[in-house]
Structure 1
């Protein structure tokens, strides 16, 4: 005998192990969505296995094919193709018409969406110091030209050190190190940050000659767990990093303005690399959304290999 517990339906049912999860839930009167009729062509019957993965049978060929096309996590299974051999706790992932529309809008011929996974990563926020004053004193064409040069320099350096810029926000950007599961993501971030500072300082001289304006950047970084997934409606989707690690990295970068510093890192990042980083000074800041004070460190232009 096997028991299927559907956590978001608050229902437990005795399953016929010779039938699929979908057949069992429908027999029990559960409104389990299956737009394609249970033929492994739409994935609207998908469920997330919370407990008892060892009691879930392996994917068959039809499910494996669709799972590869959609980039489904191993815990996400098609109820129409999945059978169980013991007790399992799961939840349905398509609960209403909006969920169904989102799933059906996915094109299996395109690059798979990231459905939300936890990763260990290092986060770098960078913005331009005194950006408003810079844009006010600089002709529009030059602003765009300089920003494109700046982002080209930054993107080249970030990529060189194994990072990836995932978002631009006017005068700055967010880069992540560790999406490739490289365990040295923290060290790579610091190296990229120092090189970026050096190259932008050189670029500042060229900008000053062109516009008589200064062009400086401020960096803030943190390391920890992030949630990585694809968000947004069809045609306006993007991969995004979410979570406390990202939020704190942003707050640390913003603290540069108050502290008159240029490169601040978190306590967690410092503890990983304290033997390699030269620190000018440490500070305690209050970060929005975090209780208590957060210790941060201002880095010198120095890194020991």
Structure 2
């Protein structure tokens, strides 16, 4: 465009009216070209020529790649820091809450505790064969019932996972309290939750769904830490007791067995949670639990509420 503007000088005074008119039209045309070239100039093309948008695509692709690299660097830094930092462990006298354990350091509370998992049976059938509104009522009624009983017997609820609840019991009667809660959960599901659901949602009974919960209980030392990220974190229990209790709640047997405990729990039960009218409420059996062969105890008994 510069070549169009800077022409050899002429003596305009010697030219006629027609020449002056041509010159004016010429200048108007130059102004129009400049206006057309301005967007390209602003977009970074110093030649003043329009440039296809595709020319700048690699710039945006590079920025996206750079963002992915930054995420990887962040994760790598966090993991390296976490793995190389020593634990700060303290003995706990109460079950900690989320705010009691630090998130961004290896902070942990050690507890001698009993873990209870209560898991709703038949949740796959429930989700497959019934509307979400129906399934939601069954799950909420079951979890609320179990949670109410657990809290009444001194348990501290620390996790809900889909259709199951996890609680921690501590103190001198922790084993018996957990077992008493489990036997009452069985009773409440059969005598309170089921009749209520069947009366208001009769298609549950018609289509063969029976609301029941299986409870697993194990005792031992646990290591409670906090996992996650800011505004999205929770406590995690690490150790044999929570792992075994969760596995026991997954047992599915025919008949009326709904409560499963470890031998360590059974050995320290109070007489009222072990015997019913002088008869042992528990049956010993050998089972494979999480790849470990162990003696566990099962019960078909219930405890009224």
TM-score if structure 1 supplies the norm length? 0.58
User: In structure 2, do the counterparts of structure 1 residues 165 and 217 end up closer, same or farther at CA, with 3 Å as the change threshold?
Assistant: same
What is the correspondence of 1:1-305 to structure 2 with a 5 Å cutoff?
73=90, 111-113=99-101, 115-178=107-170, 182-201=171-190, 202-209=192-199, 210=201, 211-212=204-205, 213-257=209-253, 261-273=257-269, 275-276=271-272, 277=274, 278-290=280-292, 293-301=293-301
SS at match of 1:254: coil
Change (3 A) 1:47 1:217: closer
Q: What's the CA shift for 1:134?
A: 2.1
- The 1:131/1:297 distance shift into structure 2, 3 A limit, reads same
Distance 1:225 1:73, change over 3 A: closer
Q: Is the 8 A contact 1:256 1:263 kept in 2?
A: no
Whole-Å separation in 2 of the counterparts to 1:271 and 1:192: 18
1:44-64 CA-to-partner distances (Å, cap 9, x unmatched) read xx9778xxxxxxxxxxxxxxx
1:123 positional shift: 0.8
Maintained 8 Å contact 2:155/2:169? yes
CA contact (8 A) 1:207 1:214 kept: no
Distance 1:133 1:143, change over 3 A: same
Structure with larger Rg: 2
Going from structure 1 to structure 2, the CA distance change for 1:144 and 1:154 (only over 3 Å counts) comes to same
8 Å CA contact retained: 2:109, 2:225:
yes
Deviation readout 1:188-243 (Å, 9 max, x if unpaired): 10111111111111211222331222111111111111111222211111122111
Q: Which has the higher helix share?
A: 2
Report the number of matched residues: 196
Q: CA offsets per residue over residues 157-209 of structure 1, 9 Å max, x none?
A: 1111111221122121211111xxx2211111011111111111121122233
Deviations 1:9-38 (A, max 9, x none): xxxxxxxxxxxxxxxxxxxxxxxxxxxxxx
Question: Which 4+ runs in 1 deviate beyond 6 A?
Answer: 46-49
Distance change >3 Å, CA 238–CA 197, structure 1 → 2: same
In structure 2, runs of 5+ residues without a counterpart are 1-84, 92-97, 275-279
Secondary structure of the residue that 1:301 maps to in structure 2?
A: coil
State how far apart, in whole Å, the 1-side matches of 2:86 and 2:282 are.
51
TM-score, normalised with respect to structure 2? 0.58
Higher relative contact order (CA 8 A, sep 6+): 2
Query: 5+ unaligned residues in a row in structure 1: which ranges?
Result: 1-45, 50-71, 75-109
Distance in 2, matches of 1:73 and 1:270, equals 28
Q: Deviations over 1:135-177 (max 9, x none)?
A: 2232211211222222222211111111122112212121111
For 1:137 and 1:47, the matched residues in 2 are separated by: 50
- Greater percentage in strand: 1
8 Å Cα contact 1:227/1:243 also seen in 2 = yes
Q: Is the 8 A contact 1:221 1:249 kept in 2?
A: yes
Is the 1:134–1:214 Cα contact (8 Å) retained in structure 2?
no
What is the CA RMSD across the aligned residues, in angstroms?
A: 2.6
Alpha-carbon spacing, 1:260–1:251, altered in 2? closer, same or farther (3 Å)? farther
SS of equivalent residue, structure 1 residue 297: strand
Secondary structure in 1 matching 2:250: helix
